[in-house]
Structure 1
Amino acid sequence: MSENNILGTNVIAQIGILVHDIEKTSQAYADFFGVENPGWSLTDTVDKAETEYKGEPTEARAKLAFFDMGSLQLELIEPDEHPSTWREYLDEHGEGPHHIAFHIKGMKEKITIMEQNQMPLMQKGEYTGGRYAYMDTFKDLKIILELLENDN
């Protein structure tokens, strides 16, 4: 891999899809692939998740369902009504792909490098065992990139 690779990886870890009804869509995926419906979980409250959208704290939460699909994970996302990239994107574009995610090391450094390349931070937050950041790469890459950093 080239040392010019900003992320330090080219392995897609996850595809995130926005949905209006996570129960219905999860069941459709489970039926289609003949797998168990994983159910959904709700993202943490703002005090734990420290969610920021466009530089401001937000109460935004989402229902998430994860399907492990071989080498990558499929994430279904049903956002609540609070301001978030999920809600804005769903309102503007309707249901469908929202992001592709990559596992990275050194979140702050990666965000800085991407912002220097005109790919600003849109939303970030914490989850149990790590953190995420959505970067606005839509202009160049036609999809949002999510950075995932898990603690070891």
Structure 2
Amino acid sequence: MEHTLLGTTLVCQIAMIVRDVEKATHRFAELLGVPAPTIIMANEDGSDTVSYMGKPTQGRVNLSFFHMENVVIEFIEPTDDPSTWKEFLETKGPGVHHIAFKAKNKMLETAAKLEKFGFPLIQNGNKYAYVESTDDLGVILELLDID
């Protein structure tokens, strides 16, 4: 799939920003008839180096993941740390935040290509990068450095 700037057409995740991750997680589990996954606080220990709009941030966030047959559904409740998640909730309210593509070993290289395409890097950590594509696509794109 080298003809795509993303290097792939595999969507691996769709993520929603919510005000209450516990409520959303339990309601979605109830809807699906499955056990609710564990809710975690990402980067609680500060081990991930997170940058938002070019500045360091703690980047903590409350998450749950539903591993569906074909994609992962992620629920995100922002903390008070500066982040794209917090900005999204404050400016738009709950909703679809991003669609993630698998970018194994090429996350920053792909992000640089997308920047030239007009989708600037807005936030990144050790294993992910978000590019601002909302004006053109209606959603942020995430590049995930995962297997």
Given candidates 126, 140, 147, the residue that maps to 2:143 is 147
- 1:80-119 to structure 2, matched below 5 A, reads 80-105=79-104, 106-119=106-119
* Aligned-partner Cα distance in 1 for 2:12–2:130: 14
Q: What runs of 5+ residues in structure 1 fail to find an aligned partner?
A: none
Quote the Cα distance in structure 1 between the aligned partners of 2:118 and 2:44: 30
Q: Secondary structure at the match of 2:145?
A: strand
SS of 1:101's partner is strand
**Given that residues 104 and 149 in structure 1 are in contact (C-alpha distance below 8 angstroms), is that contact kept between their aligned partners in structure 2?**
yes
Instruction: Give the alignment's TM-score, normalised by structure 1.
Output: 0.91
Q: How far apart are 1:46 and its partner, in Å?
A: 7.1
Aligned-partner Cα distance in 2 for 1:45–1:6? 33
Give aligned-pair identity as a percent. Answer: 40
Q: What is the TM-score when the length of structure 2 is the normalising length?
A: 0.94
Instruction: Specify whether residues 47 and 30 from structure 1 end up closer, same or farther in structure 2 by C-alpha distance, changes over 3 A only.
Output: closer
Distance in 2 between residues matched to 1:21 and 1:107, nearest whole Å: 30
Query: Aligned residue for 2:75?
Result: 76
Contact map agreement 1:23 1:39 (CA 8 A) in 2: no
The residue type equivalent to 2:110 in the other structure is K
Q: Which amino acid aligns with 1:96?
A: G
Q: Does structure 1 conserve the Cα–Cα contact (< 8 Å) formed by 2:43 and 2:58?
A: no
Question: Conserved in 2, the CA contact under 8 Å of 1:46 and 1:60?
Answer: no
Deviation beyond 3 Å, 4+ runs, structure 1? none
Q: Describe the superposition over 1:107-129 as per-residue Cα deviations: whole angstroms up to 9, x where unpaired.
A: 12101100111110010012xxx
Question: Match for 1:104: what amino acid?
Answer: A
Q: Give yes or no for contact 1:60–1:81 (8 Å, CA) kept in 2.
A: no
| Amino acid of the structure 2 residue aligned with 1:69 | M
Q: Quote the residue 1:66 is aligned against.
A: 65
In structure 2, the gaps of 5 or more residues are none
Aligned partners of 2:16 and 2:76 also within 8 Å: yes
AA matched with 2:57: T
**1:55 alignment partner in structure 2:** 54
Instruction: Map Cα deviations across residues 75-129 of structure 1 (whole Å, 9 max, x no partner).
Output: 0000101210000001111111000001013112101100111110010012xxx
**1:7 shift after superposition:** 0.8
- Does 2:131 match 1:132? no
1:29 matched to which residue of 2? 28
Size of the alignment, in residue pairs? 146
